[in-house]
Amino acid sequence: MADEIKRTRRIAIISGKGGVGKTVITANLAASLSSLGRRILVIDADLGLANLDILLGVEPKLTIHDALHGLCTMEEAIIPTAKGFDLLPAGSGLPEGALLTSTITEQLESTLSSLESRYDAILFDAGAGVGDVVLHFADLAHEILLVVTPEPTSLMDAYATIKILHQQYKRNDFLLIVNQANPAHFQQTGVALVDHLRNITSKFLGTDQPVRLELIGSIPRDPAIPHAIMHRQLLREINPQAPLACLINQLAGVLDVRVQ
């Protein structure tokens, strides 16, 4: 899956640990990629605890659950957002065990294939943890983007996620965004953290198929982010010229190279 060349790139945004800003980053990156002229679909892949719709201020009538259970088509559940990209929302409250039956995974795969012609990139906003749903969406993706913060717990969970995907799913390539870094030197923090992870993965995860980690960029802690969440707005909507909004655009630019 990882090495297939397809017109539509599937990018899974995962983290291991929850609360690292994955959904906020997904939404902001999707909007920036859309502003670059890309046709973007975001799938709320946090099937058990979806909240992308809340962040985007939309109230979906149909969700991916309805589509997967035959109550509507996947196309009917997709809604355009005012942010420039489309959203396939998910529901909340379903236990993980009830979600990934073999029928549903087959249906998901065929739906993704049918959507290929409509979008340049499909972003999966996965949930926290390393449950079957998260790992399945990561396995479906061409690119795996891991969001990590400098907290030791986040670092540990990111490493555990990489280890599982490497050993069980034979994934070797990971993109990283370091979020919530010290604003005084967030760039250096990102580089140091990813260098450290590279050292650990090369030491412990074997050399036959080495793990390759690529830092997409670092995002500093910024009060503008909780402010944007509270107001259900993206950073570019609050102030498109703000450094943080520009930074997100830069990260989207790096990602855009892979979408082309």
Partner 1 sequence: MREMNKQSPEPKNSLDLTMALRVLQNAGRQIPQLTGNDADIEVQSIIDALCDLSIHDGLTGLVNATFFHAVLAREIERNLRTGRACGLMVIDIDHFKSINDTYGHNTGDVVLQSVAARMKNSMRRMDTAARIGGEEFAIILPECDPADAIHAASRIHSMFNPLVIPIGQTILQLTASAGLVWTNSNMPINSIALVSMADQEMYRAKRSGRARLCYTQPESTVISQTERSALMALKLEGNAHGR
Distance, in Å, from the CA atom of 164 to the CA atom of 128, rounded to the nearest integer, reads: 14
**Site membership for partner 1, residue 77 (CB under 8 A):** no
**Site membership for partner 1, residue 179 (CB under 8 A):** no
**Site membership for partner 1, residue 209 (CB under 8 A):** no
| Residue 76 or 151 having the CB closest to partner 1 | 151
Task: Report the b/e string of 102-121 with b at 16+ CB within 10 A.
Answer: eebbebbeebbeebeeebbb
Q: Rounded to the nearest whole angstrom, what is the least distance from the CB of residue 166 to partner 1 in the complex? A: 9
Q: Is 228 left (phi over 0), alpha (psi -120 to 50) or beta?
A: alpha
Residue that is written with structure tokens 């962040």 in the block: 55
Total residues contacting partner 1 by CB under 8 A comes to: 28
Residue from the set 61, 69, 196, 231 that interacts with partner 1 by CB under 8 A:
196
**Site membership for partner 1, residue 155 (CB under 8 A):** yes
**Site membership for partner 1, residue 181 (CB under 8 A):** yes
Q: Using CB under 8 A as the criterion, what x/- string covers residues 96-135 for binding partner 1?
A: ------x---------------------------------
Give me 13's structure tokens. Answer: 């945004």
CB–CB of 89/57 below 8 Å?
no
Length of the chain: 260
Q: Rounded to the nearest whole angstrom, what is the least distance from the CB of residue 76 to partner 1 in the complex? A: 28
Give me 61's structure tokens. Answer: 């009538």
Distance, in Å, from the CA atom of 190 to the CA atom of 179, rounded to the nearest integer, reads: 8
**Site membership for partner 1, residue 203 (CB under 8 A):** yes
Q: Among the candidate windows 15-23, 62-70, 196-204, 230-238, which touches partner 1 by CB under 8 A? A: 196-204
Task: Report the b/e string of 168-188 with b at 16+ CB within 10 A.
Answer: eeebbebbbbbbbbeeeebee
**Site membership for partner 1, residue 34 (CB under 8 A):** no
Distance, in Å, from the CA atom of 118 to the CA atom of 73, rounded to the nearest integer, reads: 15
Residue that is written with structure tokens 């420039």 in the block: 84
Antiparallel, parallel or unpaired: β 86-88 and 79-80: antiparallel
Residue from the set 30, 74, 122, 193 that interacts with partner 1 by CB under 8 A:
193
**Site membership for partner 1, residue 198 (CB under 8 A):** no
Q: Among the candidate windows 47-55, 119-127, 150-158, 244-252, which touches partner 1 by CB under 8 A? A: 150-158
**Site membership for partner 1, residue 187 (CB under 8 A):** no
**Site membership for partner 1, residue 26 (CB under 8 A):** no
| Residue 101 or 114 having the CB closest to partner 1 | 101
Give me 11's structure tokens. Answer: 């990018």
Residues that bind partner 1 in the complex, under the rule CB under 8 A? 102, 139, 149-152, 155-156, 159-160, 163-164, 167-170, 181-182, 184-185, 189, 192-193, 196, 199-200, 203-204
